[in-house]
Amino acid sequence: MFDLKGRQAVVTGAASGIGLAIAEIFASHNASVVVLDLEAKKAAEAAASIVAKTGANVTGVGCNVSDADSVAEAFGKISGTVDILVNCAGIAHVGNLVSTSVDDMDRLYAVNVRGTFLCMQAAIKSMIEAKHGVILNLASIAATAALADRFAYSMTKGAVLSMTLSTAKDYLASGVRCNCISPARVHTPFVDGFLAKNYPGQEAEKMKQLAAAQPIGRMGTPAEIAILALYLCSDEASFLTGVDYPIDGGFFNLR
C-alpha cells in the first residue's frame, strides 16, 4: 500500500520541518522527489540527506514561491510530469487586527497565498495533460478556528483552504485531486527558533504551554503529518478530493 513508484512529487518548503518529513516518506515509498526551498543550498543538502537514507531519486532546487519568475524557473528545471505537488512553504506571524501592519499582511500573503497559487498553477498544466495528478496544500486549524493573535496567518490559511476547494471542483474532469491538511501545533525547528527568539530562558515552560493547548497533551510531529500526506497523495485515497483534513490532537472536538 501507498506505493508511489513511477510518480514524481514536488514538495515546497521541504528543507526542514513538515516539508522535509513529507519528502522523506515519499522517497521511502519509491517516488522521485524534487525538494523546493528558498535557499538552493539548503534544498540540495536536504535532497542529499534523503538520498543517503532512502537511495531514492531526489533533487533539490532553489525557489522563491512568492516570485512568479522564480517559480517558473524552478518548475522549468523539472523534467517529466509533476504527478504530486505538496505546498508546504509558509511563514507565520503573531498579531491581531490592530498590531498587524500592511507590510505584515503583504508578506504573509506573498508566501502563503500567492506562493501556493503560483506553484499550483505551474504544476497543474502537466497534470491536465496526463489526466491525473494530486495537489496537497498545507492549511491550518487557523483556517476554520478562532486563534488569538493570528490575524494575518489565519487569513492566509483560510485562502489556502478556499483555493483547495475551488481547484478540486474545477479539475474533477481532468483527473486531478486536490485536498488540504489542517494541522494544529506541530513541533518543528520553527517552534524552537520562535521560542528561543521571543522567550529566552523560558523555552521549557513555554514548550509545556504549547503542548497543553492540544487536548491530547502534546504537539504533533512532522512525521505524523507526513504519514497523512502519504495516504492522501497515494492511489489508496483515489476517492478523496476537496477535503480539508484536520490533524489536531483533539483541538476541534475535545476542547
Q: pLDDT (tens digit, 9 = 90+) per residue, 48-59?
A: 999 999 999 999
C-alpha cell, 41? 543550498
pLDDT, averaged across the chain: 96
Structural contact between residues 1 and 26, judged by C-beta atoms closer than 8 angstroms: no
Q: Of these residues, 153, 171, 199, 231, which one is catalytic?
A: 153
Return the pLDDT at 108: 98
Closest to 22 measured CA to CA, from 230, 219, 183: 230
Structural contact between residues 226 and 192, judged by C-beta atoms closer than 8 angstroms: no
CA 128/CA 121 separation, integer angstroms:
11
Return the pLDDT at 178: 98
249 pLDDT tier (thresholds 50, 70, 90)? very high
Structural contact between residues 107 and 62, judged by C-beta atoms closer than 8 angstroms: no
- Which residues does 91 contact at the CB level (< 8 Å), separation at least 6? 107, 108, 111, 112
Return the pLDDT at 133: 98
CA distances from 207 to 14, 111, 168, 186, 252 (A): 24, 26, 37, 11, 21
Return the pLDDT at 180: 98
Q: What is the DSSP-derived secondary structure letter of residue 3?
A: -
CATH number of 8-184+221-242: 3.40.50.720
Return the pLDDT at 69: 98
Instruction: Evaluate if residue 140 carries a pLDDT over 90.
Output: yes
Percent of the chain with pLDDT strictly greater than 90: 92
Q: Domain boundaries in the chain?
A: 8-184+221-242, 188-219
SS3 letters across 55-107? CCCEEEEECCCCCHHHHHHHHHCCCCCCCEEEECCCCCCCECCCCCCHHHHHH
- Give the length of the chain: 255
96 pLDDT tier (thresholds 50, 70, 90)? very high
Give the alpha-carbon dihedral of 162, 165, 166, 170, to 10 degrees.
170
The predicted model gives 114-138 an average pLDDT of 97
Instruction: Evaluate if residue 197 carries a pLDDT over 90.
Output: no
Residue 153 known to be catalytic: yes
| pTM for this entry | 0.95
157-170 pLDDT tens trace: 999 999 999 999 99
Return the pLDDT at 199: 87
